[in-house]
Amino acid sequence: MKDTILIYRLSDDIKGKIKEIANELDIDVRDISIQHLYQKMGYLLNMDGYTYQEQMLPSSSMDQPFVFFALNKDEQLDLLLQLFRMKGIPHIPYKAVLTQYNVDYTFARLYQSVASEYQQMMQMNLKK
């Protein structure tokens, strides 16, 4: 699998900066549209064995920007995040990396999982 970054609901300015960084590092960048919300991550990454699934309407709001990293080397993530900061890309709270578990998630399920974790983390920070 080629290193890939999937992006969802990012501004054109931020998309452009991410695509510029990714191009320098030979990483694909793909937009996730509303038509792809219920596709498995493996399908969105063009991985063998994953096919298009029939769609349904989103059951909840999915309006936050999201970045998903599918990278072959862990060091790439650290480098990308550093380059994001250097290029002035603002913090994107909803992000995830490809794992053996979430490759079978639909994007909607992954989004909801990350959103839930983020909300729990924010509540814990408020209690401190």
Per-residue pLDDT of the chain (128 residues; tens, 9 = 90+): 899 999 999 999 999 999 999 999 999 999 998 889 999 999 999 999 999 988 776 666 889 999 999 999 989 999 999 999 999 999 999 999 999 999 999 999 999 999 999 999 888 888 76
Residue 57 pLDDT:
66
8 A C-beta contact, residue 39 and residue 53: yes
- Note the pLDDT of residue 98: 97
Instruction: Identify how many contiguous H helices and E strands the chain contains and give both numbers.
Output: 4, 4
- Burial zone of 65 (CB within 10 Å; 0-12 exposed, 13-18 middle, 19+ buried): middle
Domain residue limits at 58: 4-127
pLDDT of residue 125: 82
Predicted confidence at residue 128, as pLDDT, reads 67
Domain with 123 in it: what CATH number? 3.30.429
pLDDT at 92: 95
Residues 63 and 72: their CA atoms lie apart, in Å, by 28
User: How high is the pLDDT of residue 11?
Assistant: 96
SS3 content of the chain, % helix, strand, coil (to 5): 45, 15, 40
- Looking at the structure of the chain, the number of domains it has is 1
Q: Structure pTM? A: 0.91
Give the model's pLDDT for residue 14.
97
